[in-house]
Amino acid sequence: MAAHRLPLALTSGDPSGIGPEIAVAAWRQRDAAGVPPFYLLADPKLIAARVRALGVDIAIVETDPTGVAAAFANALPVVPLAAVLVNTPGQPDKRNAAGIIEAIDRAVADTFEGRAAAVVTCPIAKKPLYDAGFRFPGHTEYLAHLATARTGVDTVPVMMLAGPELRAVPVTIHIALSEVPKALTTAAIVETVRITAHDLRTRFGIVKPRIAVSGLNPHAGEGGAMGQEDERVIRPAVEALKAEGIEAFGPLPADTMFHARARAGYDAAICMYHDQALIPAKALAFDETVNVTLGLPFVRTSPDHGTAFDIAGKGIARPDSLIAALKLARQLSDIEAKPA
């Protein structure tokens, strides 16, 4: 079976959050929404209990990845974890940490070993994992660690928020705004754009990606009148990228980068900090935007929202972003699998 015909490996994320129920909801909408075949790495007993609590009438089948194609039309395929999970909707529990990590480990192993086409992850919460001894900042860094361990090549992950109207990539991510100017370097911008341009070519199928690079300060610094970072840090990065043959331009004032006419002029926007990228991406299409990790040797997508402990188990969580993540994972893995 060609790699792009393999099923997608879906982790259920933190089982105390909405991951299990949006996975169930995505499977229930498989025909109406065109959801590609996937299997859920989870504790089957927990999924069955959550289904009963939600009053949903669906079949669940325990299988391995090879059985997904035959099962998916009629039952939710669940690949059982070795770990037993605690079913406490809305109440995160560090006892679930082992199963959360096992699901990620096995999804990645399945992609490397030819059992899955891509990894799709439901949201996790950091504190229960930290309480259990997890020492990575989050999902993305752990996935990069697994990739490096597998390949022996240092992996630099890049976060992209991909929606129907905008692809946005922050250079700096989960740091305080006051720390951004110190963390922002010409080298970091160049590396982020290189990875973005590469994955736009190889996974999104864009032959000559156009990369818009934002400024940091209002009006992109107004020629140095409002901060020096735009001229001293960002512009040299853009010039270096142009010299490499990458179609990058900027720094651009961020307040004029995201209207419809501006977006028509580029394939991805590189932003200098977290909210500069995520606010326009989520404002334009919150329910359809997908978190894509670029720079990995496998396709990984996830919904653009968190665990939503406050509504877990209530049956009101929307699966839209997860459905979008599943469909994009299929699209990206299909493109990557095509012969050059």
Give the C-alpha separation, 101 to 122, whole Å. Answer: 12
Do both 199 and 246 map to the same domain?
yes
Instruction: Kindly state whether residues 201 and 257 are assigned to the same domain.
Output: yes
Say if residue 282 carries a ligand binding annotation: yes
Asked if 8 and 114 sit in the same domain, the reply is yes
Q: Do 96 and 144 reside in the same domain of the chain?
A: yes
Distance CA(50)–CA(76), nearest Å, equals: 13
pLDDT for position 162: 97
Task: Give CA 35 to chain center in angstroms.
Answer: 17
Q: What is the pLDDT of residue 277?
A: 97
Residue 2 has pLDDT above 60, yes or no: no
What is the Cα–Cα distance from 98 to 157, expressed in whole angstroms?
23
Q: Do 127 and 208 fall into the same domain?
A: no
Q: Which tens digit of pLDDT belongs to each residue from 283-333?
A: 999 889 999 999 999 999 999 899 999 999 999 999 999 999 999 999 999
- The answer to whether residues 234 and 166 belong to one domain is yes
Same domain membership, residue 317 and residue 173? no
pLDDT at 138: 84
Q: Which two tokens stand for residue 283?
A: 């404002």
Distances (CA, A) of 329 to 9, 76, 275, 318: 10, 18, 24, 19
- Identify the band that residue 339 occupies on the pLDDT scale cut at 50, 70 and 90: low
pTM over 0.85: yes
- pLDDT at site 5: 84
Domain identity same for 301 and 166: no
> Is residue 300 marked as binding?
yes
Q: What is the pLDDT of residue 275?
A: 96
Residue 305 labelled as part of a binding site: no
* pLDDT value at 4 more than 50: no
Q: Same domain for 33 and 116?
A: yes
SS (H, E, C) the chain: CCHHHCCEEEECCCCCCCHHHHHHHHHHCCCCCCCCCEEEEECHHHHHHHHHHHCCCCCEEECCHHHHHHHCCCCEEEEECCCCCCCCCCCCCHHHHHHHHHHHHHHHHHHHCCCCCCEEECCCCHHHHHHCCCCCCCHHHHHHHHHHHHHCCCCCCEEEEECCCCEEEECCCCCCHHHHHHHCCHHHHHHHHHHHHHHHHHCCCCCCCEEEEECCCHHHHHHHCCCCHHHHHHHHHHHHHHHCCCEEEEEECHHHCCCHHHHCCCCEEEECCHHHHHHHHHHHHCCCCEEEEECCCCCEEEECCCCCHHHCCCCCCCCHHHHHHHHHHHHHHHHHHCCC
Q: 140 a known binding residue?
A: yes
CATH number of residue 12's parent domain: 3.40.718.10
Average pLDDT (77-82) is 97
Are 222 and 203 in a shared domain?
A: yes
* pLDDT surpasses 60 at 1: no
pLDDT at 37: 97
Q: Which of 275, 50, 13, 320 is nearest to 161 (CA)?
A: 275
Q: What is the mean pLDDT of residues 189-210?
A: 97
What pLDDT digit, counting tens, does each position of 217-249 carry? 999 888 888 889 999 999 999 999 999 999 999
Per the annotation, does 274 bind a ligand? yes
State residue 337's pLDDT score. 77
Same domain, 113 and 250: no
Model pLDDT for residues 250-294, shown as the tens digit of each residue: 999 999 999 999 999 999 999 999 999 999 999 999 889 999 999
Structural domain boundaries enclosing 211? 158-289
Please, what is the Cα angle at 239 between 235 and 242, to 5 degrees?
A: 140
Report the pLDDT value the prediction gives residue 340, as an integer from 0 to 100. Answer: 56
pLDDT in tens, 19-37: 999 999 999 999 999 999 9
Clarify whether residues 148 and 38 are in a common domain.
yes
**Higher pLDDT pick, 118 / 4:** 118
Which has more confidence, 81 or 304?
Answer: 81
Task: Give how many domains the chain has, as a whole number.
Answer: 2
pLDDT in tens, 112-165: 999 999 999 999 999 999 999 999 888 889 999 999 999 999 999 999 999 999
Per-residue pLDDT, averaged over 166-181, amounts to 94
pLDDT at residue 158 in the model:
96
